[in-house]
């Protein structure tokens, strides 16, 4: 009787502990984010004060969000961000799908060596090659253009790797059937492999869009004209050395910038988790 009792108590205790731990971690992760949203709703007199209160006494949302759009061309930055991330994603897929297909399903001399190079590429963070990239873009006169923001990322070794792993699981008979049906190798990539790989493509899309939408480092180096700024660069416009930083509008701008990502993630959440579970990549 007692044994059964304690056993049941333990079986309740386990999940409670697990959930408590997860709740604390989730709260820690969410805290700065909520503080950002909260600050974006407060007036300047409420922001830098000693006591912590989450709910603003006087709502200054209209002022802050209005100022965010007035003080900097935030709309332009958002459009730049969308254009750059979309172009990067399209180029990455155009390169990664055929490359992954060749590495997974074609027989050719040096395939193993080539794949080893791809794996090696995964180990190199792009910050390491930032200076050579900068110098070469300068040499071809592309600095401070959209091309400077896009081209360095058009080949994603991670994308090639992810797609190759997925393509390995596609039966070779399907590829052979497509060959018999009269498809060229490129037609097979786009008409057979790409539709089969949609879960993997969408999870890769999330990784890619998040990484490049949030990227601060490379745009900071590559462009200097205000008109080409991506959202993270735009946020810096609110840090004003002369008049002090305008925290309200800054936080409002930051909120606006993360909003598209949060919305996209919520919409694609199921697909995204499926894709990760499917490819076994965490």
Positions that interact with another protein (CB under 8 A): 171, 173-174, 176-184, 187, 192, 195-196
Whichever of 176 and 226 has its CB closer to another protein, that residue is 176
What DSSP state is assigned to residue 192? I
Query: What would the two tokens of residue 236 be?
Result: 């810096």
Whichever of 34 and 94 has its CB closer to another protein, that residue is 94
Query: What would the two tokens of residue 190 be?
Result: 């786009």
CB of 108 to another protein, least distance (A): 12
| Spatial separation of the C-alpha atoms in residues 123 and 127, rounded to whole Å | 12
Whichever of 178 and 237 has its CB closer to another protein, that residue is 178
CB of 192 to another protein, least distance (A): 6
CB of 173 to another protein, least distance (A): 4
Whichever of 76 and 179 has its CB closer to another protein, that residue is 179
Number of C-alpha atoms within 13 angstroms, CB side, residue 270? 1
Cβ within 8 Å of residue 76, ≥6 positions away: 227, 229
CA-CA distances (angstroms) from residue 242 to 45, 238, 245, 246?
A: 19, 11, 9, 11
CB of 273 to another protein, least distance (A): 21
């Amino acid at each position: 009787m007692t044994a059964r009792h304690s056993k049941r108590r333990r079986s309740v205790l386990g999940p409670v502990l697990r959930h408590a731990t997860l709740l604390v971690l989730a709260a820690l992760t969410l805290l700065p984010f909520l503080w950002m949203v909260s600050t974006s709703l407060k007036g300047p007199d409420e922001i830098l004060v000693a006591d912590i209160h989450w709910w603003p006494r006087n709502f200054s949302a209209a002022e802050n969000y209005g100022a965010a759009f007035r003080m900097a061309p935030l709309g332009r930055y958002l459009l730049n961000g969308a254009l750059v991330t979309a172009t990067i994603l399209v180029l990455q897929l155009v390169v990664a799908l055929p490359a992954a297909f060749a590495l997974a399903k074609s027989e050719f001399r040096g395939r193993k060596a080539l794949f080893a190079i791809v794996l090696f590429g995964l180990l190199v963070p792009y910050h390491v090659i930032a200076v050579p990239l900068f110098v070469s873009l300068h040499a071809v006169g592309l600095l401070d253009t959209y091309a400077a923001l896009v081209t360095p990322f058009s080949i994603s070794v991670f994308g090639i790797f992810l797609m190759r792993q997925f393509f390995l699981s596609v039966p070779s008979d399907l590829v052979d059937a497509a060959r018999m049906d009269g498809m060229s190798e490129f037609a097979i990539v786009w008409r057979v492999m790409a539709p089969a790989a949609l879960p993997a493509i969408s999870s890769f899309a999330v990784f890619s869009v998040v990484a490049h939408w949030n990227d601060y480092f490379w745009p900071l180096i590559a462009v200097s004209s205000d008109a080409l700024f991506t959202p993270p660069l735009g946020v810096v416009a609110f840090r004003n050395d002369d008049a002090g930083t305008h925290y309200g509008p800054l936080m409002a701008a930051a909120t606006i910038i993360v909003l598209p990502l949060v919305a996209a993630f919520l919409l694609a959440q199921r697909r995204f988790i499926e894709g990760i579970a499917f490819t076994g990549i965490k």
